[in-house]
Amino acid sequence: MDFDLKLSGLSKDTPEKEQVAKAVHEVGERLKKLETDGWVNIRGYSGKDRQLVLAAVLFHYFYLFREKFDQFILDQTEAGDNSLKVPFAQEALSFLRKKGLNTEESCRYFALSYQLRRAYFFINRRLVGRSPAMTKLRFNLWNNVFTHNIDLYERYLISRMEDFSTLFLGETGTGKGIAAMALGCSGFIPFNEKKRSFLESFTRSFVSINLSQYPDTLIESELFGHKKGAFTGAVKDHTGVFGRCSPYGAILLDEIGEVKSHLQIKLLQILQERVFLPVGSHRKSRFQGRVIASTNEPIEALRSRKSFRDDFYYRLSSDIITVPPLRKRIQEDPDELHDLLSFTIEKMIGVPSPELIHMVKKVIDTQLGPDYEWPGNVRELEQCVRRVILSRHYEGDRVIPDTNDLAGRLKQGIETGSMDAQQLLSGYCSMLYRRFGTFEEVARHTNLDRRTVKKYIKEWAHDSDQEPA
């Protein structure tokens, strides 16, 4: 943004679109002058001069062709899994070759430009919201695709990102699946100039499985596949999600917290060795995609009760991204709700509708109020929109806290003002004790001494007619 502003020579108040257009024009004019003087061929430069001229060429090239890339993304989405021929490929590649890039370099930068536009499409257009939490989420996703430095990514990691796994955290309904799909559809896909198409369609590059949906007896087959006759009912070969995942894409293991320890060991082997065995087979298969996992359970709780192996956690978490709850997004910026309603309604009916946005927003304001917590998050908001369109009414989901749930009881006590400070501290110590299992760990987390912690926990247990676990 600052770079575009400096190039354009415009003021900060100028709309971003105008800044970019002027910056592209200015770079183009300077490249034309270099071309006229016979200095635009990149092969004539070395060192920092080459990097500077190359950056200018690629900047101009990217913005010249970005609308064509965007249209191609829409066309490929509609076409599905068959990789389309790129109608403007020859024009784009000729542009780069005239600037001194060879065939390999031209195809590489062409594919990288396509990747950049896909990432923008899935991250910036599909994950809407102006709140700081959503801005941070998009920033984290972008870094997850291109790292913090796209130059280093292009030189060293563009074809090696499969070694970087990602763990998504967040409540149910926040949009972890959409965020994961944004990563899975934004990987680098090489271009085949002879066929004038990319090696595969990005619509094939993301595979998802919800691990909580399958019993233990079937989950290995769904993950790794099986051979005919491997078990009763295996009447033919079956390819699991690891076998179906594209080498240029990613697999989402949703609800990873449900996976038993023995299966975590097998998944750990895939992450470390990139191979797996279908059930009933002795021939190893290779997995080349990225692994993405998600859970709505607090990762600290999963690890503290030993249901999530430490070695599996450390290998899985090259990057950890938290998807924020809807209540936080609206608290940070109330206009976030308008953005989401606009996006949801347009996706639902196919066209923008200020009338429907106004109607739904009015129902939310009058029937739910500004402090409604949206326990179902974005998923609940989508159903709220549908219900308001049908009946002009939505009462919300008024969740009653489970009295056996310590966090719920503490939250209810804070909201209603029914607990004093000592009760809150006793409850908090008890909650930490259930999580970590020792008075020493609770003392460390609360900066209290062990005897005080023990006293508070016993007080809570006495008031609740329970013994410390």
Within a domain: 295: yes
**Domains held by the chain: number:** 4
Residue 226: phi and psi, rounded to 5, are -150, 160
Q: How far is CA 347 from the centre of its chain?
A: 20
Within a domain: 291: yes
140, 159, 178 - which closes a domain: 159
Token pair recorded at residue 48: 């920092």
Kindly report the number of other CB atoms within 10 A of residue 165's CB atom.
Answer: 19
Mean pLDDT of the chain: 88
- Can you spell out the DSSP letters for 334-375? TTHHHHHHHHHHHHHHSS--HHHHHHHHHHIIIII-TT---T
Q: Where are the beta strands (DSSP E) in 144-225?
A: 166-169, 191-192, 197-198, 206-210
pLDDT computed for residue 300 by the predictor:
82
Asked if 280 and 333 sit in the same domain, the reply is no
Query: What are the residues facing 293 on neighbouring strands?
Result: 167, 253
Asked if 371 and 265 sit in the same domain, the reply is no
H or E element that contains 292: strand 290-295
Asked if 333 and 307 sit in the same domain, the reply is no
289, 322, 355 - which closes a domain: 322
Task: Give the span between the Cα atoms of 190 and 199, in whole angstroms.
Answer: 6
- Residue tagged 């002027």 (tokens): 22
Secondary structure of residue 419 in the 3-state scheme: coil
Task: Give the span between the Cα atoms of 329 and 323, in whole angstroms.
Answer: 10
Asked if 51 and 65 sit in the same domain, the reply is yes
* CA-based nearest residue to 449, from 461, 436, 439: 439
- 127 contacts 336 by C-beta, under 8 angstroms: no
Within a domain: 364: yes
pLDDT computed for residue 392 by the predictor:
95
Residue-wise pLDDT tens digits, 130-182: 999 999 999 999 999 999 999 999 999 998 999 999 999 999 999 999 999 99
Q: How far is CA 383 from the centre of its chain?
A: 22
H or E element that contains 451: helix 450-463
Query: What are the residues facing 169 on neighbouring strands?
Result: 295, 322
Secondary structure of residue 200 in the 3-state scheme: coil
Asked if 219 and 333 sit in the same domain, the reply is no
Within a domain: 258: yes
Within a domain: 188: no
133, 159, 185 - which closes a domain: 159
Within a domain: 265: yes
Asked if 208 and 231 sit in the same domain, the reply is yes
- Residues of the chain falling short of pLDDT 50: 1, 3, 5, 401, 403, 466-469
Within a domain: 165: no
Task: Give the span between the Cα atoms of 250 and 292, in whole angstroms.
Answer: 7
Asked if 48 and 117 sit in the same domain, the reply is yes
Can you count the helices (H) and strands (E) in the chain? 21, 9
pLDDT computed for residue 431 by the predictor:
86
* Cα separation values, 446 from 227, 299, 429, 454, Å: 53, 19, 8, 12
Asked if 47 and 136 sit in the same domain, the reply is yes
Task: Give the span between the Cα atoms of 183 and 315, in whole angstroms.
Answer: 18
Within a domain: 175: no
- 209 contacts 253 by C-beta, under 8 angstroms: yes
Look up the domain containing 107 and give its range. 2-159
Residue-wise pLDDT tens digits, 268-283: 999 999 999 898 888 8
Asked if 238 and 381 sit in the same domain, the reply is no
- 198 contacts 191 by C-beta, under 8 angstroms: yes
Kindly report the number of other CB atoms within 10 A of residue 80's CB atom.
Answer: 11
- 118 contacts 186 by C-beta, under 8 angstroms: yes
Spell 223-258 as b/e; 16+ CB within 10 A means b: bbbbbeebeeeeeeebebbbbebbbbbbbbbbbbbb
| Domain of residue 235, CATH code | 3.40.50.300
Asked if 216 and 270 sit in the same domain, the reply is yes
Query: C-alpha angle with apex 16: 15 to 22, nearest 5 degrees?
Result: 95
Asked if 19 and 146 sit in the same domain, the reply is yes
pLDDT computed for residue 469 by the predictor:
45
Query: What are the residues facing 290 on neighbouring strands?
Result: 250
Asked if 224 and 311 sit in the same domain, the reply is yes
Task: Give the span between the Cα atoms of 21 and 29, in whole angstroms.
Answer: 12
Task: Give the span between the Cα atoms of 101 and 109, in whole angstroms.
Answer: 10
